[in-house]
Structure 1
Amino acid sequence: MDSTNSALRRRRTTQMACAAAVLGLALSGCAGQGAAHSNGGSDKAGGKVTLKFWNGLTGGDRPTVEKLISEFNATHKNIKVQSDPMPWDVFYQKLLTSVSSGSGPDIVAMDAGQIPKYAHSGVLQPIDDFYGADKAVAAKLVPAATQASKFGGKNYGVPTETAPLLLYWNKTLFKKAGLDPEKPPATWSQFEQDAAKLTKDANHDGKPDTYPIALADHETIPMYPVLLWQGGGGVVSQDGKRAMLDDPATVAAVKHWVGLVRDKKISPIGLGGADADKLFQTQKAAMEIVGPWDTTTFTQSHVDYGVTMPFAGPKAQVTSAGVTSFALTSTDPAVKKAAYTFFSWWNSKPAQITLAKGTGFPVNRTDVTAADLKGYPYPIAFGSPQVLKNSRPFLAGLINGPVIQDQIFYPALQRVLNGKGSVESVLKQANAAVQKELATK
């Protein structure tokens, strides 16, 4: 995926449907628009199937993804995967209309959090039978990764990449600040102590030259929601039924972090996900909460960094884990069979080891050991039992999840960060809007 905010990561950006923006619109009017075929499909005479594959895997993981696709094509003479990577915002803008017109992809890789919306609209086909057809692979997949693509009692996806968020810290900046470079903050209070030493304002203009952390407040992965969870709050309850923005624990957590940003200047206001990545990459921020896709970018930029669980809050130490899933748009039986072959191969043990070593992502399988990944610390760290046990998805299974995130939560967060209303009043109004979306079917 790209270096971020186009993706799991930045993949939750503006999206459109039916020639109009999907965000803020119900998709029920577009239901039932599955495609029998697209520009790919089966060659009845030659017996070869071409799978037109759209995805947003355009960042540090792209070379490894392309390598794997080339290897698959070379070893499967009757199937050709034709990959078309594009920025995630473009992907979502084009997907529904292209499928409904028959000119779109046969298979896609997309944020599992987006699957309910597109499954509800009829763009995606249920693929429960994949899990019954290839039990050898299905039995080895990480349960949380397979559950992420369920909607309405059916499964619409197969794992492509799994991406927990961890705290990256810059060891060089820690050392320059007089901190132990091998000891990142483990709690909120330790973070505040370290932040005071990591904030550098060389010309004393009131604007730090180096920030303790880069926190993105829009077009990003759920950095702030992780902080809310740690404080006992959240955007939506874990069962997806109740808005939580006016919960006292949420209000307290927002006040705490908004105060640190505005008064202590621990992070710039107005960062998108890509901006936050850039600050850490250029060593102008000492920490960032982000996923495994950035290990390649930061390593290539010669940043000396470590990764660990985000610092614990007063109520929990928890992080978010996103899943990118393969999904099927075509109803052509030959295309479906070829797609299942590709999905199984991608999740085979050799392919998963190649993906992990090349990208830093953890594997999708439960039978890959640390010995299999010796010399590759990042997939081991992101896939550790502690991380997986304490990870949860953000807005999973909600048709209007992108609306809640991009049109309600992030605008509310930006208002309070910019002092445009009290935390209580802004969050109360946003909470009502979120609850209305949860009630929309």
Structure 2
Amino acid sequence: MRDMHRRRTGRAIAVAAGLSLTLAACAGQGSGGNDDDPSAAGDGQPTELVLWHGLTGPDGPAVQQIIDDFNASQDEIVVQPNVMPWDVLYQKVLTSLSSDDGPQVVAMSASNVPQYASKGALAPLDDFFSSDSYMDTSVLPAAAKEAAVFDGTTYGVPLNIAPMMLYWNKDLFAEAGLDPEKPPATWDEFAQMAEKLTVDSNGDGKPEQYALALGDKATVPIWQMLLWGNGGGVVSDDARTATLDSPESLEALEFWVEQVRDKGVSPIGLSGADADKLFQTGKAAMEIVGPWMTTGFDEAGLNYGLAAPPAGPEAQVTLADVVTFTVNAKASEAQQEAAKTFFAYWNSVESQQTWADGSGFPPTRTDIPAEDLENKYSAIFGDPDLLGISKVYLAGVPSSGTITDSIFYPALQRVLNNDGDLTEVFTQASADAQAAIDQG
């Protein structure tokens, strides 16, 4: 396997070396073809790629290590990371991609790719997958590759794939008289256990301990994922029809709103960071989140377990969060080629071992045996059975950002705060989502 990696890395470096001929023809071109931009190679200078990403958590050092390794592996390309929180990145990215001095490479959730691709802001990357010139892409998980496809064209190369799992605090389960080795396997079991795990000692309606930390804003789409368990969802699988008003979606929403609003199993108004902190400080017994939190929870000394999220009445399914590398459509030809060389390096065997061992994420490759990984969480989150029930949220929907941030979450928060009837609010939200889909 390592010999295979050396051959593939050799091909990648050969591509980088071959860029010198292309660079001579493109000498002086900047990120958008600006002749005064020094970031494009010329006169023997390496091609510079500015990379924006939002991996600011415990997984950040592993990202930087691979970038450092790549920069040290050759002298034709230099990747310069610009790290910022995801919400800041998304506020700035469209304007930046439209600018001649914007970043050449942007990492983003694959669910956000369609809205930028539909505006012509991203360069197509079909050729990365159509031959072995860069790497053998057959080893990349199908879900991760397909997540960045919009209107038949691929606009992203996987940075990571992260199935969500249920974390449960074994000590809090034991204190509640529950078996610490048996988390809830179904929604009904969750509801039964949640009653014992929600502790409001003085009866003031503000529990000292919550059964669940469930974010309802600025977080990965866990609420949306829960609808799939009842056969519902936000948008149909073909990305054409809003389904928030379907009986299946409304029934799922009724179940979980009752748990949170009426039974108080989770606080209302949590962001993703708030939910993480609540579980990390032992004030919530469960959380559904990805592998990036394993390091932080371990450092906090939590005694926790990991399992697939509880199965709904119709399906056991989990969210696969895919972050993908995209290329600015304004990047020069030389910069686009350099970016693909870096993507191949990122997805090489050695780099993915570095990534998995340093982050707890599963590798983006399917050909790395679990026994070759030092981080136990990489194998847990990369379990084939877990990946087999994983689904990407709003894949191929150009208006995904609008539907999530301007329609779904405001509707959810209205209902959680008793501002309107659930059926009426989400029927209107579904109509709004359909209008957003139709507008593209």
TM-score w.r.t. length of structure 1: 0.89
Q: Structure 1 residue 314: deviation in Å?
A: 0.7
Query: Could you say which residue in structure 2 is the equivalent of 1:162?
Result: 161
**Which residue identity is paired with 1:115?**
V
Q: How does 1:20-419 map to 2 (within 5 A)?
A: 35-36=32-33, 41-131=39-129, 132-134=131-133, 136-329=135-328, 330-373=330-373, 375-419=374-418
Contact 2:134 2:340 in 1 (8 A): no
Q: Structure 1 residue 419: deviation in Å?
A: 1.0
Q: Structure 1 residue 202: deviation in Å?
A: 2.9
> Which structure has the highest helix share of the two?
2
Contact 2:161 2:320 in 1 (8 A): yes
Q: Structure 1 residue 134: deviation in Å?
A: 3.1
The one-character-per-residue Cα deviations of 1:23-69 (angstroms, maximum 9, x if unpaired) are xxxxxxxxxxx933696632210141111111111111111111111
**Partners of 1:43 and 1:263 in 2: CA distance:** 61
The one-character-per-residue Cα deviations of 1:147-188 (angstroms, maximum 9, x if unpaired) are 111112111110001111111111111121121111111011
Contact 1:134 1:344 in 2 (8 A): no
Query: Could you say which residue in structure 1 is the equivalent of 2:423?
Result: 424
Mark the runs of 5 or more structure 1 residues left unpaired by the alignment: 1-33
Q: Structure 1 residue 245: deviation in Å?
A: 1.2
Larger radius of gyration: 2
- Number of residue pairs the alignment of both structures matches: 407
Contact 2:162 2:321 in 1 (8 A): yes
DSSP 3-state at the match of 1:336: helix
Q: Structure 1 residue 99: deviation in Å?
A: 2.8
| Cα RMSD for the two superposed structures | 1.6
**Partners of 1:40 and 1:249 in 2: CA distance:** 55
**Partners of 2:432 and 2:217 in 1: CA distance:** 18
Contact 1:35 1:99 in 2 (8 A): no
Query: Could you say which residue in structure 2 is the equivalent of 1:6?
Result: none
Q: Structure 1 residue 317: deviation in Å?
A: 0.6
Q: Structure 1 residue 336: deviation in Å?
A: 1.7
DSSP 3-state at the match of 1:139: helix
Contact 1:240 1:398 in 2 (8 A): yes
**Partners of 1:348 and 1:230 in 2: CA distance:** 35
Runs ≥4 in structure 1, deviation > 6 angstroms? none
Contact 1:39 1:104 in 2 (8 A): no
